[in-house]
Amino acid sequence: MKNPKTILVTGGAGFVGGHLVEALLARGYRVVCLDLFTYAGSLEHLAPAMAAHRHQLVDRLWPAKLLRKKSTKLFIVRGDINDGATLTALLAGCDGVMALAAETHVDYCYHTPGTFVRANINGVHSVLEAVRNEGKGKRLLQVSTDEVCGERRSGRSAESAALRPHNIYAATKACGELLVRAYADVFGLDVVMVRPCNLIGPRQQPKDLIPKTFSYLLHGRKMTIHGDGRHVREYLYVRDAVEMMIEVFERGKKGETYNLSSQIGRSTLQVVQAVARSLGLRAREQMTFVADRPNPDHRYASSHGKIRKLLGRRWRLTPFLEVISLMRDDFIARNPPPLI
């Protein structure tokens, strides 16, 4: 890139954020990553990007002059999206925002719903205020989730489907979407949104289904399956998804939302079976069944026609079993401690 653009990525030290930062840098962007480093944020997620590019860690209020160092490609700032002053100062030096920062682990929203409201509603509001005050004309990509449309017993949710969130995480993400839309309408902000399905890949959060299954099986434990294990989700390789996010950020139509999905549903049982087989284990002997979560959604399904059209010939989905192999190799190489 001749005059590289600088993108502010919130939540860049999370699972998806780490892959997005890496992909942006590979495309020639400079990146300012703002992350609170909650339990979910880690420099491990940014390790490949840090190894490949000149970077700087910043643990204080952003001095704008730092950005003048053109040779530095990645700035990693510890900070809260709810801190409007920091956000506004950062945005002044950036050309756009990709907003991923959120509380994301659905299991935790039953115990600490307030943290989800703070990050996913108040935090989105804070980002919107910064864009409104400092970033007018700068594009905002808001990363939402397919869960905002709630359960589909049959068929698929298009982008125009009604928001019917069923759990507190999804409800806070839906509120975030509504705020983004309202700010775009009222203040004319340049926003685009994506709603990914379940994203999977190396360095995924340890308590998500696939890493958890690897952890349990490799430590000789049986994987716990909630309910009957027949809940269906769609899965997409995180590297494919972040390329789609960049495409939407660069070329998506102002004001539009794009589902990011594989359109291939898999039950929990099928996913655990695939992990067990990748380790050469007999799946049936590796599972134990426990009570279901409160108010579970049985099936999420969203249509991907719109993003497919945007990508055209660049549309590519890495096969699920190939991603499982990548994750197995990554897991064995990193050898994380057992889960409690």
4 in Cβ contact with 53 (< 8 Å): no
Q: Which of residues 202-261 bind ligand NAD (CB under 6 A)?
A: 205
**Type of residue numbered 145:** T
In the set 86, 106, 138, 145, which binds ligand NAD (CB under 6 A)? 145
Q: Is 147 a catalytic residue?
A: yes
Q: How many angstroms separate the CA atoms of 115 and 275, rounded?
A: 32
The nearer residue to ligand NAD, 11 or 265, going by C-beta atoms, is 11
Residue 196 near ligand NAD by CB under 6 A: yes
Six token digits for residue 27: 């495309």
Closer residue to ligand NAD, CB minimum distance, 16 or 283: 16
Q: Find out whether 232 and 266 touch, Cβ atoms under 8 Å.
A: yes
| Distance of alpha carbon 271 from alpha carbon 267, whole angstroms | 6
Which listed residue (4, 6, 26, 37) binds ligand NAD by CB under 6 A?
Answer: 37
CB 99, min distance to ligand NAD, A: 7
Q: Which residues pair with 7 in a beta bridge?
A: 31, 96
| 265 near ligand NAD (CB under 6 A) | no
Catalytic entry in 35, 103, 151, 169: 169
- To which residue do tokens 């409160």 refer? 294
With contacts defined by CB under 6 A, name the span among 36-44, 130-138, 285-293, 300-308 that binds ligand NAD.
36-44
Cα–Cα dist 330/328, whole Å: 5
Out of 86, 88, 104, 278, the only residue in the binding site for ligand NAD (CB under 6 A) is: 104
Give the residue among 244, 293, 237 at the shortest CA–CA distance from 268. Answer: 293
Applying the rule CB under 6 A, the residues between 162 and 191 that interact with ligand NAD are 173
CA separation for the pair 176, 307 (Å, rounded): 21
Is 146 among the catalytic positions?
Answer: yes
Phi first, then psi: what are they for 334, rounded to 5°? -80, -30
Which residue of the chain is nearest ligand NAD when measured via CB? 14
Does position 106 interact with ligand NAD (CB under 6 A)? The reply is no
Among 81, 272, 287, 324, binds ligand NAD (CB under 6 A): 81
Q: What are the φ/ψ torsions at residue 236 (nearest 5 degrees)? A: -140, 140
Minimum CB separation of residue 107 from ligand NAD in Å reads: 12
Site residue total, ligand NAD (CB under 6 A): 31
Question: Which secondary structure element, helix H or strand E, spans residue 17, and what is its range?
Answer: helix 15-26
Whether residue 195 contacts residue 144, with contact meaning beta carbons closer than 8 Å, is answered with yes
State phi, psi for 304 to the nearest 5 degrees.
Answer: -115, 15
- Find the shortest distance in angstroms from Cβ 94 to ligand NAD: 15
Using alpha carbons only, give the angle 310, 311, 312 rounded to the nearest 5 degrees: 95
Phi and psi at 329, nearest 5°, equal: -65, -40
Residue in 9, 11, 183, 320 binding ligand NAD, rule: CB under 6 A: 11
CB 287 within 8 A of CB 272: yes
15 contacts ligand NAD (rule: CB under 6 A): yes
| Residues 109-138 as x/- pattern, contact with ligand NAD by CB under 6 A | ----------x---x---------------
**Among residues 7, 32, 40, 77, the one that binds ligand NAD under rule CB under 6 A:** 40
**Residues within the interface to ligand NAD (CB under 6 A):** 10-11, 13-17, 34-38, 40-41, 80-82, 100-104, 119, 123, 143, 145, 173, 196, 198-199, 205
Tell me the catalytic residues: 146-147, 169
